[in-house]
Structure 1
Amino acid sequence: MALEAAARALRRRRGVVVPALHLWRAAAAFHAGLGGDTASLGHGGDPVWSVALHLRPDLCRPERARPTERARSVLGLPISGFGQVRCGGAEFAVPTDVEEAAPGGVSAADPRGGGAEHGARLVEELVAAGAAMLVHLRENVA
């Protein structure tokens, strides 16, 4: 990714470390331990859904949340992920629109299990993790 390449270049050329906290990866690790609904975990659901409900409820429309609608196939082949189908025991990248793979933009998650309260707990953990990284860098990186 472009941001990762830029961060590597900054570290290599200037000795500057720019850590990135990826919301999806980091919060997903905290999700279950904080009481998150396993059915809500995934693209179009948690942890992003709950964090958004906590931080920016004005931008969310929880009344429009609906259960996952599973896409059946593309080109007569089973969908195995975004832009991927399975054929002959292997995964193939096939250009697809989001609506083909995930009707309504939701795949493998039912966002209705998320909530602002869960988002608040996730944000608290994310902030603590970010602070721990800054302390570590201050104490261990010249």
Structure 2
Amino acid sequence: MTVAEFRDRLAEEPVILLPLGSHEEQGPHAPMGDYLLAEAIALRAAELSGAVAAPCLPFGHADFFRGFPGGIQLRAPTFRAVLTDMIEAFLDHGLPRILILNGHSTNAPLIDEVARGLRRQRGVAVASVDLWRSIPDALWTQIYGADAARARGHGGDPVTSVSMYLRPDMMRPDLIRHARPATAMGLPVAGVGGVRMDGLPVNLPLDAHEVNGDGMLGGDAALASAAAGQAIFNHLAGHCAAVARHLSRCDPCQPMSGPISEPMPEQGGAP
């Protein structure tokens, strides 16, 4: 989209979709960079809703992935500053309807901090969707049946299947490895966040490479497929489009009020 084309849309006050991701390992078989998936979901959601998809922020906050080579992580203050600047670039031109599409779970608390800060400073409520947490249990069961729980997790799905669907050219299924149980302080590891004792969580700051040297922190990638990825992608794009259409009728400066206008026309794109 050229600046002239974008300027022509200012009067509509379109919803701006702001995709965020990360550049980190996704197991030995999938490309680093779940931002590729967030960007594709945003572009499709824009087509479906009439929103405008902004360029994706490809780097996220994930300090516990620093042990793997090739990744790029932002420190928390850097991430907050960059995200604030990105949002204010649209606010400064009278575009307050912003929907963040977050493709990396540990970005979420920092997104919340930024959104609350902007609410106080600019009087605008910025909404966000955590993509991988927006897949209903019913869809997991529909796709995987009794294997739904085994499929889910870092190194497995949803990222592996969606990558198979969107970027099969970048996949290395021959390198798929299974997650292996690990222990720390003599207790079973429950991810990078800690361990379990007597079935209950105990927080412990672990790094991903300590939990699993292949980066397989949970899901069984052998259960992934392009067909599953297509179903997940279609659901997420449709869900984000529905949220964008709803936000187009709301006043982000008065979030406790209801819809105030007709939905925006379906003529989305990317700036």
TM-score, normalised relative to structure 2: 0.45
What residue number does 2:126 align with?
A: 18
Task: Decide which moves more: 22-31 or 120-129.
Answer: 22-31
Per-residue CA distance 1:35-84 (angstroms, 9 max, x = gap): 1341211222111111122222233222211222222x123233233241
Q: Is the 8 A contact 1:43 1:108 kept in 2?
A: yes
What residue number does 2:170 align with?
A: 59
Is 1:96 matched with 2:206?
A: yes
Question: Per the alignment, do residues 30 and 16 of structure 1 end up closer, same or farther by CA in structure 2, a change over 3 Å counting?
Answer: farther
Greater fraction of residues in helix: 1
Per-residue CA distance 1:89-120 (angstroms, 9 max, x = gap): 76433343323323421133211111111111
User: What's the Cα RMSD here?
Assistant: 2.5
Amino acid at match of 1:62: P
1:18 deviates by: 2.8
Which of 65, 68, 74 is residue 179 of structure 2 equivalent to? 68
What residue number does 1:8 align with?
A: 116
For 1:103 and 1:82, locate their aligned partners in 2 and report how far apart those are by CA, in whole Å. Answer: 12
Give the SS at the match of 1:104: coil
Q: Is the 8 A contact 1:68 1:107 kept in 2?
A: yes
Give the SS at the match of 2:128: coil
Equivalent pairs counted in the alignment come to 141
What residue number does 1:131 align with?
A: 241
| Consecutive unaligned residues in structure 2, runs of 5 or more | 1-108, 253-271
- After TM superposition, what 4+ stretches of structure 1 lie above 6 angstroms from structure 2? none
Per-residue CA distance 1:8-43 (angstroms, 9 max, x = gap): 223343343432221220136464254134121122
Amino acid at match of 1:111: A
| Consecutive unaligned residues in structure 1, runs of 5 or more | none
Amino acid at match of 1:21: V
Sequence identity of aligned pairs in percent? 35
